[in-house]
Structure 1
Amino acid sequence: MAQEYLIDVKGIECPQPVNVVAKELSKMPVGTQFRIVTDNYVCYMMLQRLLKMLGERVDSTAEHEDAEEYEIIATRLM
């Protein structure tokens, strides 16, 4: 099983999380599963769109509104 990476962009204002995630993706080998967590709903939606545009696979998403945390689990394909 591949190592899972965590990209924590909580507390970072948009659009900076998009840049952070793009930079981290460039370091990951194909097949890597990664998890992104944010506390901003707009960034959560933007990050999902970014991953789809880049051809990455979004495995699951979760909205933990009570904790103000949003999570994306994805796999690096490109």
Structure 2
Amino acid sequence: MSNVIDVRGLQCPTPVTIVANAVDKAEAGSTLTVITDDFICFMMIQRILKILNVEIREAVQLDDGNYRIVVIKSPKGTQ
């Protein structure tokens, strides 16, 4: 299952909260793709994902200037 979380146009800390809530609600094994247009949010989202022990598969700046983070939520009890 893959979910796209588009937080473009939003300023921190709102995107961080949205992403943290989405990770919390996501099923184990889900892939989440986060799109932001703000570098600070890009960095802060990665930071909260690490705190939440979510595996970051990709964190890149796209050709259009946006940023993409792809993560997989591990099953409970694993990292």
Q: TM-score, normalised on structure 1? A: 0.89
Listed one character per residue, the Cα deviations across residues 15-39 of structure 1 (whole Å, up to 9, x for unaligned) are 1101111111121111101100000
Asked if the contact 1:8/1:37 (under 8 Å) is kept, the reply is yes
Aligned to 1:71: 68
Aligned to 1:60: 58
Asked if the contact 1:40/1:68 (under 8 Å) is kept, the reply is no
Structure 1 unaligned residues grouped into runs of 5+: none
Aligned to 2:42: 44
1:49 Cα deviation from its structure 2 partner: 0.8
The structure 1 segments of at least 4 consecutive aligned residues displaced by more than 6 Å after TM superposition are: none
Take 1:61 and 1:26, find their aligned partners in 2: how far apart are those partners? 20
Take 2:28 and 2:37, find their aligned partners in 1: how far apart are those partners? 27
In structure 2, give the amino acid aligned to 1:73: V
Aligned to 1:15: 13
Identity among equivalent positions (%) equals: 33
Q: How many residues align?
A: 75
Tell me the secondary structure at the aligned position of residue 50 of structure 2: helix
Take 1:71 and 1:41, find their aligned partners in 2: how far apart are those partners? 11
